[in-house]
Structure 1
Amino acid sequence: MSDTSGTGSAGDCGDCTEHRTAVTEPEVEALVRGICFKTGPPRTLGVEVEWLVHELRTPQRPVTPERLEAAYAALRTVPLGSALTVEPGGQLELSSPPAASLMECIGTVSADLDAVRAVLAEDGLGLVGVGHDPWHEPRRFLRQPRYDAMEACLDRTGAAGRHMMCASASVQVCVDAGHEEPGPLGHERRWWLAHQLGAVLVAAFANSPLAAGQPTGWLSTRQLMWMEIGAGRAGAPPPDGDPRTAWARHVLDAPVMCVRLDGAPWEVPDGLTFRDWIRKGEPRPPTRADLDYHLTTLFPPVRPRGHLELRMIDAQPGDDGWIVPLAVTAALFDDPEAAESAYRAVKPLAERALALPAPHNPLWSDAARYGPADPELREAAVACFTAALEALPRLGATTGVTDAVATYLDRYVVRGRCPADDLLDSLRGTAARTHGKDIRP
């Protein structure tokens, strides 16, 4: 969601002549290829952690917009190493600066989260790590032209867009695109791996089984909402072949969310692709600034922004739950031996992803619905976590980080469970106590 990212941006919208000049299709293809895949040896890492904000004592009670605004005004005075942004529904996001190591990234964000929690606690508020708000209907906090246009656009496909904008939270890991050479750290391999491993990450870290206090039938309701938004806005291009060519074509053929007009309401065209806009030139020809903006309105599970932004992981429970998916993902992408092990582990899953690009294929939908209870996904997850555990010391991870990953592996993955199962168990336990009988499995 946020335009802030952990290791760079896809392009800045400015007032220079270059940004005001109309673009052609060949220019867009060249720009996208150069902007979105900056290749080289993997060197940096980033993470974006989103949180729902609730009452500390009674999380089921909605926080008023006035209280949120007051709390966020106080937060803006706190010096942080990460960029702090507010999402449309009032969720908070911290986006780390590019880090040279896993532990540097963890250290920066952990310190920032401590500072944020201290400020919120003074007003009786806290951060909740869950992928989808389990209690409240989506309610928009920010009133800005961008989000007015986004809501109008996404409403055409149903209510999922409002849930995504206002009721969801995630852990987004940002890794470098990789270098030009083939092999486990090459950009083509990393692009392919991100789309196959992504389903494993959805399953292993699913943590959003509830909406309006009731089970939805999906362990990652957040991922369900992304799928229901539609392939044009939240889908990936086919992962095979040259990533630059596939993504450039996808950008041109994706629907335009809005046309920004000076001194007038923004237009929200229906079905107008960026390629169509270039060819028609109406209501005005698109510019480089429009392309930069268009790139920020596409929400695939893996978004290339110079680096690769992995957007599929639900927000995690606990103060430090976000560290495990960050550590596992970093190890599987940036350690060559672990990357090769992950490639071998997820390769058998590829057949289930042939019908449609992610996340609209059976592999991804099964991951969101069943989590690691799916036998093939569980087998791949166990292999990937095991490879990550072996690699983490080589990446300089502390014993505390490796112990957290090992505990997660034993508590959840090898048992075919995920944090969503804990939430469902808790709900069943509450229902059992209410009805005077035990309905827990």
Structure 2
Amino acid sequence: MADVMCDDRPLVFDDLVAWFADGAKPKADWRIGAEHEKFPFRLADRSPVAYDGEAGIHALLTGLMRFGWKGVFEGETLIGLERNGANVSLEPGGQFELSGAPLNDLHEICDETGVHLSEVKTVADELGLGFLGLGFTPDWTREQIPVMPKGRYRIMRAYMPKVGKLGLDMMFRTCTVQVNLDFGSEADMVKKFRTSLALQPIATALFANSPFTEGRPNGFLSARANVWTDTDADRTGMLDFVFKDGFGFETYAAYALDVPMYFVKRGETYVDVAGRSFRDFMDGRLPELPGERPTIKDWADHVTTIFPEVRLKKYLEMRGADAGPWSRLCALPALWTGVLYEDSALDAAWDLCKDWSVESHEGLRAQVARSGLKAQVGGRTVQEIARDMLAIAHDGLKARNRLSGGLVDETNYLADLEEIVETGMTPAERLLQLYEGPWNRDMAKVYDAMAF
């Protein structure tokens, strides 16, 4: 069904279910959408970047318009850019995100990423700014980080401390890389959801890249992943119900319906309804909007405020990886495309994790944040499982046979991950080794090593 209702009748539960089901596409129409975040910082003193000022985030967004980007505004405030199906968006603490267009293959994804990084570097060099590829800010405190002027972030900022200890860290001090992938039917969605959710901690370990907080080691390999364990239990986690018999669009819609709301957007205004029930909204019983009932756009907005390790919209989002350098920005979509877009690969990947107990999923998620590839599940180390997962992804990409210039397939984008698995050292452990050795515990060296 379309995002705009065809009549004035109130939404019913079947409409919510149908919104997800409408995402199903034939395999020939499956695309790949890549997203990544990075921390802007001032080259002069490695400090965070405010929105305003001659060399602020607004100036950075404005500077990118020379490359054909068009402004996205909230009232009169420039909050993002759009071009040819891609978006540059502004995260709560100024993290700069590329949400890429749906593209045909990984060669196009990596080209898009490279063009974006070239454009932002051109403008950032003029402004005296750099960008850092880590999963968590290595030395900034929460109080140092400026707040970006977006209405939804004001509401989230007030609500987060009520439901978790680390939600504000999630908003202001984390960066991620993710990939969005299509499904062909409800059955295909279920299989991809279960497989990718169970294996998400394996990706978290491979991409673990946030071992520092406020200038010192924090005891984690992925502080970003740990933050999500105490952000908001109502809207995060490993979703045990996904692995139960009968899971489908209806189950997920029922789950999403019971996740507390953040806001309702009316025109350019975000109405604060944090903690309210979407069910009450459907019955016209929101105190903030008495008698008003939601549109399908309100439902779509609400779905974006749910943050499990894999999220269903009209496609599936793999969300469990720390940001990192340019080569790993391409590796994340390569990993999941290889695993999920060929039936034989998907079957083999499910065989890796199908016997894990539902209870083990959250435990593994917590383990990998601290132990990375050394974590264990089902009697095996994550390193062993990751080696098998990469071999499956390699075979899946080989079977896709998408060639660049008629010569090179997509498997080369897995090279960084294959090296990580073979050495058994996560990116975070390499950073800690450098920090304790050649860097002599000088946090400035992190910026030298991890800046784009």
TM-score range, shorter chain: 0.7 to 0.9
Instruction: Identify the range of structure 1 (193-202 vs 272-281) with the bigger mean alpha-carbon deviation.
Output: 272-281
Q: Residues 96 and 108 of structure 1 are in contact (CA less than 8 Å); yes or no, is this contact kept in structure 2? A: yes
Distance in 1, Cα, partners of 2:209 & 2:217: 12
TM score, norm. by length of structure 1: 0.83
Q: CA 1:286–1:344 in structure 2 vs 1: closer, same or farther (change >3 Å)?
A: same
Q: 1:53 aligns to what SS in structure 2?
A: strand
Q: Residues 257 and 294 of structure 1 are in contact (CA less than 8 Å); yes or no, is this contact kept in structure 2? A: yes
CA positional deviation for 1:260: 5.0
* Other-structure match for 2:27: 41
CA positional deviation for 1:295: 1.3
TM score, norm. by length of structure 2: 0.81
Q: 1:171 aligns to what SS in structure 2?
A: strand
Instruction: Identify the range of structure 1 (69-78 vs 424-433) with the bigger mean alpha-carbon deviation.
Output: 424-433
For 1:90-119, what per-residue CA distance to the aligned partner results, in whole angstroms no more than 9, with x for missing partners?
111111111122212222222222122222
* Other-structure match for 2:48: 62
Q: 2:352 aligns to what SS in structure 1?
A: helix
For 1:158-202, what per-residue CA distance to the aligned partner results, in whole angstroms no more than 9, with x for missing partners?
45222212221111101102335x6xxx22211111111211111
* Other-structure match for 2:77: none
Q: 1:287 aligns to what SS in structure 2?
A: coil
Q: Tell me the amino acid that sits aligned with residue 87 of structure 1.
A: E
Q: Residues 17 and 250 of structure 2 are in contact (CA less than 8 Å); yes or no, is this contact kept in structure 1? A: no
Q: CA 1:252–1:391 in structure 2 vs 1: closer, same or farther (change >3 Å)?
A: closer
Q: 2:27 aligns to what SS in structure 1?
A: coil
* Other-structure match for 2:160: 154
Runs in 1 of length 4+ with deviation above 4 angstroms? 259-265, 397-401, 430-434
Structure 1 counterpart of 2:299, from 266, 271, 291: 291
Q: Residues 323 and 401 of structure 1 are in contact (CA less than 8 Å); yes or no, is this contact kept in structure 2? A: no
* Other-structure match for 2:76: none
Distance in 2, Cα, partners of 1:408 & 1:100: 22
Structure 1 counterpart of 2:66, from 71, 74, 77: 77
For 1:344-379, what per-residue CA distance to the aligned partner results, in whole angstroms no more than 9, with x for missing partners?
22334x22xx138x6xx1021112221112242111
* Other-structure match for 2:385: 380
* Other-structure match for 2:213: 211
* Other-structure match for 2:364: 363
Q: 1:230 aligns to what SS in structure 2?
A: coil
Q: CA 1:210–1:277 in structure 2 vs 1: closer, same or farther (change >3 Å)?
A: same
Q: 2:181 aligns to what SS in structure 1?
A: strand
* Other-structure match for 1:23: 11
Q: Residues 398 and 410 of structure 2 are in contact (CA less than 8 Å); yes or no, is this contact kept in structure 1? A: no
* Other-structure match for 1:408: 417
For 1:23-72, what per-residue CA distance to the aligned partner results, in whole angstroms no more than 9, with x for missing partners?
34x3454344435x42432621110111111234643x333442222222
Q: Tell me the amino acid that sits aligned with residue 164 of structure 1.
A: M
* Other-structure match for 2:184: 178
Distance in 2, Cα, partners of 1:197 & 1:211: 27
For 1:220-253, what per-residue CA distance to the aligned partner results, in whole angstroms no more than 9, with x for missing partners?
1111112211221223542123221221111111
Q: Residues 41 and 178 of structure 1 are in contact (CA less than 8 Å); yes or no, is this contact kept in structure 2? A: yes
* Other-structure match for 1:225: 227
Distance in 2, Cα, partners of 1:263 & 1:124: 32
* Other-structure match for 1:167: 173
* Other-structure match for 1:4: none
Unaligned runs of 5+ in 2: 69-82, 443-452
Distance in 1, Cα, partners of 2:167 & 2:120: 28
Unaligned runs of 5+ in 1: 1-9, 435-441
Distance in 2, Cα, partners of 1:433 & 1:265: 44
Q: Residues 11 and 292 of structure 1 are in contact (CA less than 8 Å); yes or no, is this contact kept in structure 2? A: no
Distance in 2, Cα, partners of 1:214 & 1:407: 26
Q: Residues 160 and 226 of structure 1 are in contact (CA less than 8 Å); yes or no, is this contact kept in structure 2? A: yes
Structure 1 counterpart of 2:394, from 384, 389, 392: 389
* Other-structure match for 1:106: 110
Distance in 2, Cα, partners of 1:400 & 1:333: 17
Q: Tell me the amino acid that sits aligned with residue 203 of structure 1.
A: A
2:431 corresponds to 1:423: yes
Task: State the superposition RMSD in angstroms.
Answer: 2.8
CA positional deviation for 1:155: 2.0
Distance in 2, Cα, partners of 1:337 & 1:261: 46
* Other-structure match for 2:259: 254
Distance in 1, Cα, partners of 2:67 & 2:198: 39
Q: Tell me the amino acid that sits aligned with residue 39 of structure 2.
A: L
Q: CA 1:157–1:215 in structure 2 vs 1: closer, same or farther (change >3 Å)?
A: farther
Q: CA 1:57–1:17 in structure 2 vs 1: closer, same or farther (change >3 Å)?
A: same
CA positional deviation for 1:323: 1.0
Q: Residues 152 and 270 of structure 2 are in contact (CA less than 8 Å); yes or no, is this contact kept in structure 1? A: no
Q: Tell me the amino acid that sits aligned with residue 75 of structure 1.
A: L
Query: What percent identity do the matched residue pairs reach?
Result: 27
* Other-structure match for 2:277: 273
Q: Residues 49 and 95 of structure 1 are in contact (CA less than 8 Å); yes or no, is this contact kept in structure 2? A: yes
Structure 2 counterpart of 1:311, from 297, 315, 319: 319
Number of residues of Structure 1 aligned to a counterpart in Structure 2: 406
Distance in 1, Cα, partners of 2:318 & 2:312: 9
Q: Tell me the amino acid that sits aligned with residue 262 of structure 2.
A: M
